[in-house]
Amino acid sequence: MPNVTARENLRPDLSENLRRAGYYPDLVDDVLDVALAEEPVVAHLVQAETTFDDSVRRHLTVLALTPTRLVAAHVDDHEGDAAHPSSAAATTEAVPLGEIRSVALTHIVSEPAEHRRGDSAAELTLAIGWGAVSRVDLEPAQCPDPSCEADHGLTGQLTPDDVVVRVSGAAEGRDAVGRATDFARALSIATGTTRRGGTSGSRAAR
């Protein structure tokens, strides 16, 4: 996967991946065109997810890296009824690279003792944070006195949770895990270059 300095436009490749995903590819292409604003795509990741509860629900996440921004798109089905036909909601967000605070990766490795350098993970979770959305995990506050029965309230942890993408080698193939890893590497290079260039420092000074 080329890094952000290569300036190779992978927009046609992104369109082809959208067609392979098969989830309203023309619609997703159109909303991405607006958000990309003719900037070249230097890395991308397309992740389709299907969940089953009372009905089948589909969700598509698209991440496109340009020389200056990360464009994230989310597409969901909306169920209809007799009076209101079914619809889809497609949301995009364009984030300047200097605003991205974290690129977190969790590698799940089967049989770690057998892992050899260069082997892909069995599963990869990519979490990207820029401060727009955070997750709060709460639990009862603990008291050091084991006999205490008072209510000490809650304690919690605030975690950036703007975009989370999970890719499983068992479900989607090791190639999918490799593509997610390549995208995460390209994004880490791009955001690291931006910070070294002083963008993050100038933001903190404002």
The pTM of this model reads 0.76
Question: Confidence band (pLDDT; 50, 70, 90) for 162?
Answer: confident
Look at residue 204 and tell me if it is in a domain: no
- Note the helical H segments in the chain: 11-21, 25-36, 169-172, 174-196, 199-205
Residues 27 and 75 sit within 8 Å (Cβ to Cβ): yes
- What would the pLDDT profile of 104-159 be if each residue is shown by its tens digit? 999 999 999 999 998 889 999 999 999 754 444 456 777 777 778 777 666 655 44
- What would the pLDDT profile of 163-172 be if each residue is shown by its tens digit? 999 999 998 9
Look at residue 30 and tell me if it is in a domain: yes
- One-letter amino acid at 144 equals P
* 54: phi then psi, degrees, rounded to nearest 5: -75, -20
* 157: phi then psi, degrees, rounded to nearest 5: -130, 130
Look at residue 202 and tell me if it is in a domain: no
What is the structure's pLDDT at 97? 96
Between these two residues, 188 and 2, which has the higher pLDDT value? Answer: 188
- What would the pLDDT profile of 35-53 be if each residue is shown by its tens digit? 999 999 999 999 998 766 6
Look at residue 63 and tell me if it is in a domain: yes
Give me the chain's average pLDDT, please.
Answer: 82
Domain that holds residue 42: 11-138+154-197
Look at residue 146 and tell me if it is in a domain: no
Mean pLDDT of 21-30: 95
Between these two residues, 147 and 190, which has the higher pLDDT value? Answer: 190
175 Rama class: left (phi>0) / alpha (psi -120 to 50) / beta = alpha
Look at residue 4 and tell me if it is in a domain: no
Q: Is pLDDT at 27 greater than 70 in this prediction?
A: yes
Rounded-to-integer distance, Cα 124 and Cα 167, Å: 5
Look at residue 2 and tell me if it is in a domain: no
What is the structure's pLDDT at 200? 39
Total number of domains in the chain: 1
Look at residue 177 and tell me if it is in a domain: yes
